[in-house]
């Protein structure tokens, strides 16, 4: 630690940056590229955080359309192919009386990806246009998005189990459809989008927040 | 006066003096600023070695079998991911990475870094391992897999008779070990060790 920091104001205003890898602080002017403690690349804020987040979000917005419209799995039964989209799968679960399971799949595969895209876009817009909203609420929303995001992988795991069980194709077999790949792209890009978003920007944008 | 910077909002605070097991929160964003975890490297080392051993049967023995018109079919975790590789390589890769590669690699990383603490060594590889551990935290999704497994079982019930196999018990054991490990582990404390503080 090169100099004493004053509590109560942000580190950036005091010429200090935090290493996100080893959580040590160092001077911004003296260490422009690498953390002096652990040697990993360092920057005051995540480099091009907004651009990366937007690029990934736009990709997710594009791919969420085929993910929901095209069949995610094909069921081959008595040499007839039955396609199933995400939504029709949920409907058939609902109709067979498994409302709880249908709800889990609905939340994980439809609600979470859409909410994630909306929430992240909203926070990014708020940061970009410096809307003076409550930073604490924005961070709270971001943390929910971040935590809940991993659960959208659920549908992919379900497909992999179904494919493995009905593998020999005797009477029934299951194949992943085009939507499975599109849905994977949505899940991965939204996960990376949340990771590339720097929450400290929320406070940088709120000039009058203390 | 020691200070600490919040990683969520960049506010500088006085470094709190905490009793072990207590958590300090940032005054501005109310997120966790600093945790004074009592990390027991011996325990973590033992847990991670056990988890590594259990990984093998958990991933390779059958989780479920179904009986359909006199035919029995079994499925294990690896099969499902690998079988889609021709039709949907991306899906297959993500499933393999999140359910198999990331949890295994995370366990190897924790075993390595805990081993370093136990045997009081600081190899140059330790820094890279700690970096990798932080990344893998996001991608290890065993708990999601268990819930997916339950969803799949409910879907299967409408087609055939479903029986649970030995692999499931190994998998649940692995999940419990993994959860305990992640609760015990603290990246900050290991970085402090690596810097010899």
SS3 per residue for B19-49: CCCCEEECCCCCCEEEECCCCCHHHHHHHHH
Mean pLDDT of A163-167: 82
Same structural domain, B164 and B134: yes
Same structural domain, B68 and B95: yes
Nearest C-alpha in B relative to A155: B148
Containing structural domain, residue B24: 1-36
Same structural domain, B2 and B98: no
Instruction: Note down pLDDT in tens along chain B; length 197 residues.
Output: 588 888 888 888 888 888 888 888 888 888 888 888 888 899 999 999 999 999 999 988 888 888 877 777 888 888 888 888 888 889 999 999 999 999 999 999 999 999 999 998 888 889 889 999 989 988 999 999 999 999 899 888 887 888 898 889 999 999 999 999 998 888 888 888 888 87
Q: Which conformational region is residue B30 in: left (phi greater than 0), alpha (psi within -120 to 50 degrees), or beta?
A: left
CA dihedral for A176, A177, A178, A182, sign (positive or negative): negative
Same structural domain, B189 and B110: yes
Paired with B35 in beta bridges are: B23
Please tell me the distance in Å from B160's CA to the nearest CA on chain A. 10
Same structural domain, B46 and B95: yes
Tally the residues of chain A: 210
CA dihedral for A19, A23, A24, A28, sign (positive or negative): positive
> A168 to chain B: which residues are within 8 Å by CB?
71, 73
Same structural domain, B163 and B129: yes
- Is pLDDT above 60 for A2? no
Q: Which pLDDT does position B175 carry in this prediction?
A: 94
Q: Which pLDDT does position B67 carry in this prediction?
A: 83
Please tell me the distance in Å from A48's CA to the nearest CA on chain B. 17
DSSP class of residue A4 equals P
The verdict on a CB contact (< 8 Å) between B91 and A160 is yes
Residue environment code for A156-179, b if the CB has 16+ CB neighbours within 10 A, otherwise e: bbbbbbbbbbbbeeeebbbbbbeb
CB pairs under 8 A between A and B: 190
Q: Which pLDDT does position B73 carry in this prediction?
A: 80
Same structural domain, B96 and B9: no
Nearest C-alpha in A relative to B65: A165
Which residue segments constitute the domains of chain A, with CATH numbers given? Answer: 1-44 (no CATH), 49-205 (1.20.140)
CATH number, residue B49 = 1.20.140
Tally the residues of chain B: 197
Same structural domain, B29 and B43: no
Q: Which of A24-28, A168-172, B46-50, B122-126 has the lowest mean pLDDT?
A: A168-172
Q: How much of chain A exceeds pLDDT 90, in percent?
A: 36
Compute CA A43 distance to the chain's CA centroid, rounded to the nearest angstrom: 22
pLDDT classification of A189: cutoffs 50, 70, 90: very high
Please tell me the distance in Å from B108's CA to the nearest CA on chain A. 19
The encoded tokens of residue B32 equal 């966790």
Q: Which of residues 168-187 of B touch A (CB under 8 A)?
A: none
Question: What's the pLDDT tens digit per position in A69-96?
Answer: 999 988 888 778 889 899 998 998 889 8
Neighbour tally for A152: CB within 10 Å: 24
Please tell me the distance in Å from B42's CA to the nearest CA on chain A. 22
> A158 to chain B: which residues are within 8 Å by CB?
148, 151-152, 155
When CB atoms are compared, the residue of A9, A202, A210 closest to B12 is A9
Rounded-to-integer distance, Cα A12 and Cα A44, Å: 7
| Cβ contacts of A49 within 8 Å, gap of 6 or more | A196, A197, A198, A201
Rounded-to-integer distance, Cα A130 and Cα B142, Å: 39
The verdict on a CB contact (< 8 Å) between A153 and B144 is yes
Same structural domain, B32 and B97: no
Rounded-to-integer distance, Cα A43 and Cα A20, Å: 9
Same structural domain, B95 and B167: yes
The encoded tokens of residue B134 equal 């932080």
- Is pLDDT above 80 for A185? yes
Mean pLDDT of A93-119: 90
> A91 to chain B: which residues are within 8 Å by CB?
none
Q: Which pLDDT does position A169 carry in this prediction?
A: 60
Please tell me the distance in Å from A93's CA to the nearest CA on chain B. 7
The verdict on a CB contact (< 8 Å) between A153 and B1 is no
Q: For chain A, give the mean pLDDT.
A: 87
Q: Which pLDDT does position A123 carry in this prediction?
A: 92
- Is pLDDT above 50 for A58? yes
Same structural domain, B55 and B71: yes
For chain B, how many structural domains are there in total? 2
Q: Which pLDDT does position B75 carry in this prediction?
A: 83
Same structural domain, B90 and B26: no
Mutation pick from A96, A163, A198 vs chain B, by most beta carbons of B within 10 Å, is: A163
Residue environment code for B36-60, b if the CB has 16+ CB neighbours within 10 A, otherwise e: bbebebeebbebbebbbebbebbbe
pLDDT classification of A1: cutoffs 50, 70, 90: very low
Mean pLDDT of A112-137: 90
């Amino acid at each position: 630690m090169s100099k004493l920091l004053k509590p109560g104001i942000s580190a950036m205003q005091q010429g200090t940056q935090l290493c996100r890898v080893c959580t040590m602080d160092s001077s911004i002017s003296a260490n422009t590229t690498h953390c002096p403690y652990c040697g990993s690349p360092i920057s005051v804020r995540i480099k091009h955080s907004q651009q990366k987040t937007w690029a990934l979000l736009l990709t997710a917005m594009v791919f969420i359309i085929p993910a929901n419209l095209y069949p995610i799995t094909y069921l081959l039964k008595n040499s007839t192919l039955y396609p199933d989209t995400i939504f029709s799968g949920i409907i058939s679960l609902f109709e067979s009386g498994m409302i709880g399971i249908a709800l889990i799949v609905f939340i994980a595969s439809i609600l979470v990806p859409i909410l994630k895209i909306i929430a992240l876009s909203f926070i990014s817009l708020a940061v970009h246009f410096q809307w003076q909203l409550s930073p604490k609420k924005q961070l709270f929303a971001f943390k929910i998005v971040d935590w809940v995001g991993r659960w959208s992988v659920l549908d992919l795991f379900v497909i992999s189990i179904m494919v493995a069980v009905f593998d020999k194709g005797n009477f029934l077999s299951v194949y992943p459809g085009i939507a499975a790949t599109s849905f994977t792209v949505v899940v991965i890009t939204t996960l990376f989008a949340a990771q590339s978003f720097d929450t400290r920007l929320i406070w940088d944008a709120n000039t009058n927040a203390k | 006066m020691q200070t600490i910077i919040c990683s969520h909002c960049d506010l500088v605070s006085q470094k709190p003096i905490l009793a072990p097991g207590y958590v300090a929160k940032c005054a501005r964003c109310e997120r966790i600023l600093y945790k004074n975890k009592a990390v027991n490297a011996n325990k973590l080392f033992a847990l991670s070695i056990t988890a590594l051993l259990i990984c093998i049967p958990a991933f390779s023995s059958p989780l479920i079998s179904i009986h359909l018109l006199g035919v029995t079919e079994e499925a294990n975790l690896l099969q499902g991911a690998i079988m889609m590789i021709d039709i949907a390589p991306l899906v297959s890769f993500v499933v393999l990475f999140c359910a198999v590669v990331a949890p295994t690699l995370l366990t190897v990383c924790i075993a390595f870094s805990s081993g370093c603490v136990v045997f009081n060594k600081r190899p140059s590889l330790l820094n890279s391992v700690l970096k990798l551990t932080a990344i893998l935290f996001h991608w290890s999704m065993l708990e999601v897999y268990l819930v997916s497994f339950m969803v799949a079982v409910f879907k299967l019930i409408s087609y055939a008779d479903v029986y649970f196999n030995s692999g499931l018990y190994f998998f649940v054991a692995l999940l419990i070990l993994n959860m305990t490990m992640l609760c015990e582990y603290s990246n900050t404390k290991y970085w402090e060790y690596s810097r010899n503080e």
